[in-house]
Amino acid sequence: MLTGNQSKSLDHYRQYKILILNDAASIHTLFQEPVDELETALEKQQSNLAHEIYTTISDFKSKEGIPTNIQIKELQNKLNKFNRRKKNMKKILVLLFASLFVSISSIASADLVFALVPKAMNNPFFDLARDGCKQAESEIDGVECLYIGPGEHTEQEQVQIVQDLISKGVDGIAVASSNAPAMAKAVEGSGIPVITWDSDFLGEDYGLREAYVGTKNYDIGVNLAEITMMLKPNGGTICIQSGGAAAANHNERMSGIRDTIAGRADGGSYPSAALNGENGWTEAEGCPLYTNDDFPLSVQQMEDILAKHPDLTAFVPTGGFPQFVSKAFGRVTEKHAERIRTLHTAVVIADTLPMQMDDLAAGRTHGQVGQQPYNMGYKAMYVLKDIIDGKALTFDNPSNNAIYTGLDVCMRPNIESCIAG
């Protein structure tokens, strides 16, 4: 029976074992080797880098500590540098995790391993999806939630992770695609059940995934636009801030904003045409802005666009990007506090994470349209299990095999009641 600490440690270890090891036999072989071999291999280098790596590992061991994802990534970066001087990096890396965690005899393998792949692991939005995934894991016998993705928003790294998961034979994959066409191509012909969550494939690639679990993204844009138009009924200039240019979910949200303001129907092609005078609205020069989920960049973009356009009517991000850097966002909104307080510029942003609701309560934003990421991660595991079990799925939209997780529309008057329980 694993201890609580061992169980948490294995969550970190499992994130890397699929990417590192070729087969189960390798695991057995390497875990039987003494931990001292790691020390010997490192000491032979007689380098500051080797000493730093070993000191860090020893510190974790002595304190029986649980390394965070950030600490693991830092160690991995150091080991990558170390690898340029030594060819047996794979063995060292495996022994690293062996020394930090448990012997192979303690690892309880699940019957089914389902991978939940976010766009980036440094995004608090996706942390909630991970929590939902882990809750489902605790409820479904024999199922493991393997939460793994790029440390930061990197399209190619996400594709590579999914390809590695496929080659290692996980039982199912739920992926929030950063680049929808590239990800669709990566999973084509995999023979593994694949579903999307948060960010779907493009329409022509729906057949490459079994289902989509998440928000009806176009409706996020609709609600962002409706709040904006309610606050600024006479129109004006708007700047939309988005994620990646190839992110299907953000393109759908942008279309929802534009189409609703323009009074046109959903044309089914995303993103739709930019606003150019429809109902008195135009898009500010230099917009839309693309953040690629780089949160510090998103704050800088916000600061720059507010400075460039002192009469900007509305700033509307399709995700919580700038708010995820709370101090920097607070600094920018404080700098422009008067124009925000007086509604000279409306600030309406997607997502309703706790720090974002604090911003709404404090008057730094005027509206938030939230998703339910916890339910995305939770439902994704159950959907994959139903697919494996051969059960028929129930769709909210059978035309695109979509299972929707709902929206929360928040303004200050309903701030206490707008978040779904």
The pLDDT tens digits of the residues spanning 3-38 come to 444 344 344 434 433 333 333 333 333 333 334 444
Evaluate whether 134 touches 145 at the Cβ level (below 8 Å). Answer: yes
Query: Same domain for 148 and 221?
Result: no
Query: Same domain for 65 and 26?
Result: yes
In a domain, 417, yes or no: no
For position 379, which CATH number holds? 3.40.50.2300
**Residue 374: alpha-carbon gap to chain centroid:** 12
Query: Same domain for 71 and 149?
Result: no
Look-up of token digits 């448990």 = 102
- Domain of residue 43 covers 4-106
Query: Same domain for 233 and 186?
Result: no
Evaluate whether 187 touches 205 at the Cβ level (below 8 Å). Answer: no
In a domain, 47, yes or no: yes
With b for 16 or more beta-carbon neighbours within 10 A and e for fewer, the 313-340 pattern comes to bbbbbbbbbbbbbbebbbebbeebeebb
Domain boundary among 106, 123, 140: 106
Domain boundary among 106, 136, 164: 106
In a domain, 77, yes or no: yes
What integer is the mean pLDDT of 306-322? 97
What integer is the mean pLDDT of 297-307? 97
pLDDT, residue 111, reads: 86
Confidence label for 77 from pLDDT (cuts 50, 70 and 90)? low
Query: Same domain for 242 and 151?
Result: no
Total domain count, the chain: 3
In a domain, 48, yes or no: yes
Query: Same domain for 243 and 188?
Result: no
pLDDT, residue 310, reads: 97
* Confidence (pTM): 0.69
Average per-residue pLDDT for the chain: 82
Per the omega criterion (within 30 degrees of 0), is the bond before 288 cis?
A: yes
In a domain, 66, yes or no: yes
pLDDT, residue 154, reads: 85
pLDDT, residue 58, reads: 55
In a domain, 411, yes or no: no
